[in-house]
Chain A
Amino acid sequence: MTEALTDTKAQPFIQIRNLNKTFAGRSGRGVAANATPQTVEVLKDINLDINQGDIFGIVGFSGAGKSTLLRCLNRLEEPDSGEIRIGDSVITSLSHNELLAFRRKLGMIFQQFNLLDSRTVARNVDFSLSVARKSKAARAARVTEILDLVGLSDRRDFYPGQLSGGQKQRVGIARALANEPIVLLSDEATSALDPQIALSVLDLLIDINAKLGLTIILVTHQLEVIKYACRHVAVLENGRIVEKGTTQDVLTNPQSDTMKVFVKVNNSMTSDTWREGEGI
């Protein structure tokens, strides 16, 4: 890597530089089925810095590329060009085995939870630990500890099929945190939940951020999530970052079309309606 990038002290924890990604139009994720069979540029020249311990929001309309951007961070999507750096590691140049090892340091949670129906709550969490080759005793202790943290100790022998949506997402969070990651990636993690439940899950994330100093990146299409949880935000529009800054600046003085629409829609409802479960 270039000499200029070797001094990490003064640098942001996560750096994304000139990131580009295209999809073949036919099979692209998030691309309409009737799109022209040409390549679609999903991410165009993304540059972004995220500080350690931040709760960072990535917001945009559906199809803006925000999930793709998030998935580039653990290379569930392979970027076409550009560089991603997390801590001292250059994600974009890791070999396959290095990538597998590094993914154990990145937790990820999903809109559809993606728990294993064949395993109990405790064994879902244990899956992460077994992948990381922890000892049996360490695994058992960690499962108990982490289920306690997410408030599911009394559900450890339940199957996901027996849990509510909020409880499922807590299991998802426990699984993601089991190996003590340095970053938590959240892909619309609260979008499938009832508003009150979504709030309690966000509260849990905020709590974890405070307790563990964990950097959290939240992808969402809900302005309420940004308002409630994020300190910084980047706005994506057609694969480009059109606006970024502190949540307060972006909300009070929106520059991009996307953000103006978001704020306008949001102002037409009070934030209380969201809390009461009617707003979203």
Chain B
Amino acid sequence: MSGFEDFLSDLFSLKTWDVIWPAILDTLVMTSVSTILMAIFGLALGTVLLVTRPGGLRPLRVFNVIFGGIIDALRSLPSMVIIILTLPLAKIIIGRSWGPGAVMIALALTCTPMFARMVESSFLEVARGKIEAAKSIGARNWEILLKVILPESLPGLIRAFTIAIIALISVTAIAGWFGGGGLGDVAVRYGYTRFLTHMLVAAVAVLIIIVEFVQVGGEAWAKHIVRKRHL
């Protein structure tokens, strides 16, 4: 048999997929949990950035500069470094600095600063006039945030969220180093370390499918909202 046929039969062998299936599950669980954490903290921090910036709903100049500076400093660090830095935090929160749980917290923290800035910039897309109109009828700041800025920026926010999830998936590959498991881990341990090309290809193919699924899904959701609003 030729090498290519060998490769194909390896690629679709039960042995390969006995490894891949649990890895898919690991990746999905890791990504989902860190996505939820990232969404919560990213929205919260992005809102703080928006509200405190000059001309914002509650301008706090010095705080905004310092806080924004910290966010940007975190964004400039390589993911690997952030994970190493945040693992002790995981130890405090869940009592372990290794394994899937610890890695999920680290992953969320890796992508949260970026997502916070994306949330801020999506919010900034809302026309100033809409916020002024809300102010002119006496809306409170929380009403402006929840009833004007959030719904008006929703399509952009969903697109930003989609990009952030995909960034998160790509970072999960590093999680393997710290016992997180997942497809990235399979690609490194079997594909790279043991030269099992079919494992590498299988892991990568599944990762691509997941990412495409997220991208297409996010885009369709955003488009649906835009179409519903006749924009």
Q: How far is the CA of A271 from the CA of B130 in the complex (A)?
A: 34
On whether the beta carbons of B152 and A117 are closer than 8 Å, the reply is yes
Set of chain B residues within 8 Å of A128, measured between Cβ atoms: 137
Q: What's the minimum C-beta distance from B152 to chain A, rounded to whole angstroms?
A: 5
Q: How far is the CA of A108 from the CA of B31 in the complex (A)?
A: 46
Q: What's the minimum C-beta distance from B54 to chain A, rounded to whole angstroms?
A: 8
Set of chain A residues within 8 Å of B138, measured between Cβ atoms: 100-104, 131-132
Set of chain B residues within 8 Å of A117, measured between Cβ atoms: 152, 229, 231
Q: Give B130-188 interface residues, CB cut-off 8 Å to A.
A: 130, 132-140, 143, 147-148, 151-152, 154
Q: What's the minimum C-beta distance from B183 to chain A, rounded to whole angstroms?
A: 37
- Please indicate which of the listed interface residues A27, A119, A162, A178 has the most CB atoms of chain B within 10 Å of its own CB: A119
B15: interface (CB < 8 Å): no
Q: How far is the CA of A117 from the CA of B228 in the complex (A)?
A: 10
On whether the beta carbons of A110 and B129 are closer than 8 Å, the reply is yes
Nearest chain-A residue to B144 (Cβ)?
A131
- Please indicate which of the listed interface residues A27, A116, A117 has the most CB atoms of chain B within 10 Å of its own CB: A117
On whether the beta carbons of A176 and B229 are closer than 8 Å, the reply is no
A159: interface (CB < 8 Å): yes
Given contacts A76-B132, A161-B230, A161-B231, contact A116 B148 (CB under 8 A): yes
B127: interface (CB < 8 Å): yes
A274: interface (CB < 8 Å): no
Contact of B147 among A107, A127, A160 (CB under 8 A): A127
Q: How far is the CA of A172 from the CA of B132 in the complex (A)?
A: 13
A114: interface (CB < 8 Å): yes
On whether the beta carbons of A76 and B137 are closer than 8 Å, the reply is no
Interface size class of B (residues with CB under 8 A): 20 to 34
Q: What's the minimum C-beta distance from A91 to chain B, rounded to whole angstroms?
A: 13
Main secondary structure of the interface of A (DSSP, over half): mixed
On whether the beta carbons of B133 and A108 are closer than 8 Å, the reply is yes
Contact of B130 among A27, A106, A107, A116 (CB under 8 A): A116
Nearest chain-A residue to B225 (Cβ)?
A118
Q: What's the minimum C-beta distance from B59 to chain A, rounded to whole angstroms?
A: 12
Q: How far is the CA of A172 from the CA of B133 in the complex (A)?
A: 9
Q: How far is the CA of A119 from the CA of B152 in the complex (A)?
A: 9
Set of chain A residues within 8 Å of B228, measured between Cβ atoms: 159
A220: interface (CB < 8 Å): no
Set of chain A residues within 8 Å of B127, measured between Cβ atoms: 112, 114
B interface footprint on A72-91 (CB within 8 Å = 1, 0 otherwise): 00101000000000000000
On whether the beta carbons of B135 and A76 are closer than 8 Å, the reply is yes
On whether the beta carbons of A103 and B137 are closer than 8 Å, the reply is yes
Q: Give A47-76 interface residues, CB cut-off 8 Å to B.
A: 74, 76
Set of chain B residues within 8 Å of A112, measured between Cβ atoms: 127, 129
Contact of A118 among B129, B137, B152 (CB under 8 A): B152
Set of chain B residues within 8 Å of A21, measured between Cβ atoms: none
Question: Which 10 A-B pairs rank lowest in CB-CB distance, beginning with the nearest?
Answer: A161-B230, A103-B138, A118-B151, A114-B133, A108-B136, A114-B129, A104-B138, A100-B138, A128-B137, A162-B230
Q: Which residues of A contact B (CB under 8 A)?
A: 27, 74, 76, 100-104, 106-108, 110, 112, 114-119, 127-128, 130-132, 159-162, 172, 175-176, 178-179, 185
12 residue pairs of the A-B complex, CB under 8 angstroms, read A27-B55, A76-B135, A103-B137, A103-B138, A107-B137, A108-B137, A131-B134, A131-B138, A161-B230, A162-B230, A175-B137, A179-B137
